[in-house]
Structure 1
Amino acid sequence: MATDYDAPRRNEADEMAEDSLDELKQRRNEAQSAVVDVEETDTAESYELPGADLSGEELTVNVLPKQADEFTCASCFLVHHRSRLASSSGGQFLCRDCAA
């Protein structure tokens, strides 16, 4: 509830005396209500990312198997070219990023 700081101040006793019994009952019922208002439009499907209209898009990617000059890092599990090899011990290869 917004507060108007320029309005004249009233104490709670004045407010309680002016409230009707029906208003007090209504406030109590609203405070005790366990019903949560959930709109169907509040789902994550309704949110659209700006500039990301992917409707009708079909992504196709060619995945190649690991080549002879590549290795899989034992720390980050990414496939790197042999030029990124920092160390190898016991068949465990580490890339330069993970070795640093």
Structure 2
Amino acid sequence: MRQTATEDGRIERLARRRAGAKLGWLIHALVYVCVNAALALLTWHTKQSWALYPLAGWGLGLAIHGLAVWLGSGTGLHERLLQAERDKLARTPRI
């Protein structure tokens, strides 16, 4: 069965959004690696261990971002939340 142009457009937009989110996470991970490598070199040069704090904190943020992108976009969580809001608004009387 052939999809309509509207369905094709919706699928294309969704695919682009998901690909953009995944690319955003990959860029985030690359920046994380580069910056923390530089901090590690600086820490090694100064013989201090302060760079572990940004490594751990930013690493946690990167992990949460990854979970949201890699698990959230594949499960359709955003679409379900959006539909729930639409349903809620449809039931609410307008003033």
TM category, shorter: under 0.3
Structure with the higher fraction of residues in strand conformation: 1
TM-score w.r.t. the length of structure 1 is 0.24
TM-score w.r.t. the length of structure 2 is 0.24
Structure with the higher fraction of residues in helix conformation: 2
Larger RCO (alpha carbons 8 Å, 6+ apart) = 2
